[in-house]
Structure 1
């Protein structure tokens, strides 16, 4: 085997590509990729993993050839097997530059994130991030345009009285439909699916839900100004990737609230009420029962942009 200068470069490139492909495939197989991106982006990550595997295979092929003979890959349009001498010698090099520090710098740009991605633990963000971003306890309201404040009833076969209760502007009709579905449940469970959508629907029509039973699992969060009898039970929501993660939660009240530590996970059951939070009327849970809970492996919730079509 001829371990020439070019072969060494091929070996390094092959190692980097195999490393990234292995890391991405590992995150996909273990499910840890969902700590970094939302489920609707998984297809593109899987395609990228396949692309990395193909490129690594090509580099391995070129590496094997370069160990046997010199391989030149370029499109300069002349024969590289001999030198031409037509009055003057045609000679140039297509091999990698021999500036060691330049190559060390270039390869480090790829190797460093690979090493960090391999060695750093895959952990989820919780209350510490909420301290920086602030807790959203009202959901994502659909804002009515100026001149569009007229209330309308939703379509469908819902009870006429319920349609009147859930009158809203045209931009919140989907949340009104969801609100009617939730209103008909004896116990409203704030599961991962549609967590944000349910939070918005209940907050939009919080008067209708007062006294309704609700159950939720989340982490304990506190901020300045909350009474000792209250904490916020929160979840972290991811729209596309970890860069846009945001905390959502519900103000929860019990006389022994102070005994529950920040970031501890609880499952609470109680009745829906309302309170003021930063000058805004939002829902509150009057807690009837609290149980310790274990944080899920992937503790994030994700918005469903197509939830209206599934109602």
Structure 2
């Protein structure tokens, strides 16, 4: 019975997320086929477990009592309730604030923060180096960087957001002076007046390795409230951030345009 409940619970939650269009808040949709396959398999195995359990009910008289039947129905209802009540929360600047004002990059401090938090969450820069050998990663990112360095103006979209951000942080001096345009939500820097970050929440494979990615902006002609969605355009500079004690790729803003929140606020890493 426990096996059946576990299997049907997973099926119910996955099916609910798929039905409501919220599955993309938990996994990179590039791998959605794995969720669908596991959902079908769980349903098949759940039916098998239910059949086995029903046979046991018929052969054990103590399971035929009224109390046993009511208990069985209550247990069967649990996965349905869990599936319908499964919470989904869209991440925003409050999530950033809750983590505290520390944005370690992939220089070793990121690993220390993750270890202390028990997570694989990332900050500022998408880091996919753990999914490659060192030489393969360098080759992959070198090719990606070269592709965008040939462009006079780099348009960062939902589709290329993660790879462009990773390339910018890997080769900040080479991208310095490039004009870029991208969309994100505002996170006001609580330390520097008239400075604000522009972020997107991104998923590499699933929610376990998600993070907040984007750029510090400078020279803003107008300040916006947290969670305001903005399309920004400007030139990349390398700005020394005293609190983080390192240079950050920073957008020297030329224009800010307020836009509506995207239907899907998340971005994903394509491989």
TM-score scaled to structure 1, two decimals?
0.63
- Equivalence map 1:1-311=2 (5 Å): 17=8, 21=11, 24-54=14-44, 72-73=55-56, 93=60, 96=63, 100=67, 104=71, 107=74, 111-112=77-78, 114-119=80-85, 122-133=88-99, 134-135=102-103, 136-140=123-127, 142=129, 172-225=138-191, 227-258=192-223, 260-277=224-241, 278-304=244-270, 306=271
SS of aligned partner of 1:286 = strand
Shift of 1:216: 0.7
Q: Show structure 1 runs of 5+ residues with no match.
A: 1-8, 63-70, 75-79, 81-91, 149-168, 307-311
Q: State the distance in 1 between where 2:137 and 2:208 align.
A: 28
Q: State the distance in 2 between where 1:33 and 1:178 align.
A: 28
SS of aligned partner of 1:208 = helix
Whose helix proportion is higher, 1 or 2? 2
SS of aligned partner of 2:139 = helix
Q: State the distance in 2 between where 1:208 and 1:170 align.
A: 20
Q: 1:104 to 1:264 in 2, by over 3 A?
A: farther
Q: 1:303 to 1:255 in 2, by over 3 A?
A: closer
Q: State the distance in 2 between where 1:23 and 1:220 align.
A: 32
TM-score scaled to structure 2, two decimals?
0.71
Q: 1:106 to 1:195 in 2, by over 3 A?
A: farther
Q: State the distance in 1 between where 2:96 and 2:69 align.
A: 42
Shift of 1:220: 0.7
Q: State the distance in 2 between where 1:186 and 1:193 align.
A: 19
Give CA deviations for 1:121-145 in whole Å, capped at 9, x if unaligned: 64321222222344423442859xx
SS of aligned partner of 2:17 = helix
Q: State the distance in 1 between where 2:200 and 2:55 align.
A: 55
Q: State the distance in 1 between where 2:232 and 2:160 align.
A: 18
Say if 2:13 and 2:82, in contact at 8 Å, map to a contact too.
no
Q: What is the aligned residue count?
A: 242
Q: State the distance in 2 between where 1:44 and 1:142 align.
A: 23
SS of aligned partner of 2:237 = strand
Q: 1:243 to 1:114 in 2, by over 3 A?
A: farther
Shift of 1:59: 8.3
- Residue in 2 that maps onto 1:84: none
- Residue in 1 that maps onto 2:106: none
CA RMSD, 1 decimal: 4.0
Q: State the distance in 2 between where 1:263 and 1:190 align.
A: 19
Q: Show structure 2 runs of 5+ residues with no match.
A: 104-122
Q: State the distance in 2 between where 1:35 and 1:210 align.
A: 33
SS of aligned partner of 1:72 = helix
Q: 1:255 to 1:294 in 2, by over 3 A?
A: closer
